[in-house]
Amino acid sequence: MRKIIIFLGPPGAGKGTHAKEVSQILNIPHISTGDIFREAVKTQTELGVKVKEYLDAGKLVPDELVWAVVRDRLEKEDCKDGFILDGFPRTIPQAEMLDNYLKEKKTTPKVVYLDVSDELVIRRLSSRRVCKNCGAIYNLISMPPKKDGICDICGGELYQRSDDQPEVIKHRLETYYNETQPLIDYYKNKNYMHTIDAEGEREEVLKKILKVIEE
């Protein structure tokens, strides 16, 4: 059966970390719209030029543009057995576009909502570091690299995302509450959302996620 998993939750809830782990376990692609946009900005593609100002300000990229990118990605061969969405959908119109698409494909997603407190989000985001080379995610407090500033996996340089600075974090959280949190009710009403307490140890949270996915 085609496995379609959507990770929902505020920035810093652990969507990226867990989506990467689940992607390896289930052998289906991890699709992060944030990663796609950051890569486009870095390589200065046409898409990158269009989305840069939104990312720098912690604002949402317009729905139609995001959906065009996601739909293209979902049509790729590697998505035929399923995929994991991280950071999409982020608004009700995005969720509706995805729903219509999945209906056409006669599939239903599993929505995994990672529930964490505001304080934890702020603490996690301000101490998050990412590998420039392989994208591995670290946390200076709860999951530091073995060597300062260096990725354990590939030896790449670690950096702080420009939108993980305090002022932008504040703005991203406001955007989350205004635009994305309504999705929780949207999916609750559809009966395919599972809420996971994501405050605990990473391994514990992963176990809970896998249980829900395998049900």
Per rule CB under 6 A, is residue 11 in the interface with ligand AMP? yes
7 closest CA partner among 158, 175, 208: 208
Structure token pair of residue 134: 């392989």
Quick note: the x/- pattern for ligand AMP over 184-213, rule CB under 6 A, is ------------------------------
Q: Which of these segments, 23-31, 50-58, 104-112, 133-141, binds ligand AMP (CB under 6 A)?
A: 50-58
Instruction: Among 88, 113, 138, 186, indicate the residue that binds ligand AMP (CB under 6 A).
Output: 88
Dist. CA 75–CA 82, nearest whole Å = 11
Reduced 3-state DSSP string for 158-203: EECCHHHCHHHHHHHHHHHHHHHCHHHHHHHHHCCEEEEECCCCHH
Q: Is 172 a catalytic residue?
A: yes
Per rule CB under 6 A, is residue 176 in the interface with ligand AMP? no
In the complex, the smallest distance separating the C-beta of residue 159 from ligand AMP, rounded to whole angstroms, is 14
Contact 31, 85 (CB under 8 A): yes
Residue 24 CB partners (closer than 8 Å, separation 6+): none
Quick note: the x/- pattern for ligand AMP over 52-71, rule CB under 6 A, is --xx--xxxx----x-----
Q: By CB under 6 A, how many residues form the interface with ligand AMP?
A: 17
Per rule CB under 6 A, is residue 10 in the interface with ligand AMP? no
Q: How far is CA 16 from CA 21, 23, 32, 93, 208, in A?
A: 9, 10, 8, 22, 16
The footprint of ligand AMP on residues 121-150 (CB under 6 A) is: none
Instruction: Among 18, 124, 172, 208, indicate the residue that binds ligand AMP (CB under 6 A).
Output: 172
Q: Is 15 a catalytic residue?
A: yes
Shortest-Cβ-distance residue relative to ligand AMP: 34
Q: Is 202 a catalytic residue?
A: no
Per the listing, tokens 């052998």 go with 27
Dist. CA 210–CA 215, nearest whole Å = 8
Which sign does the torsion angle of CA 194, 123, 152, 44 carry? Answer: positive
Residues interacting with ligand AMP, by CB under 6 A? 11, 33-34, 37, 54-55, 58-61, 66, 87-88, 90, 94, 163, 172
Catalytic residues: 15, 90, 128, 161, 172
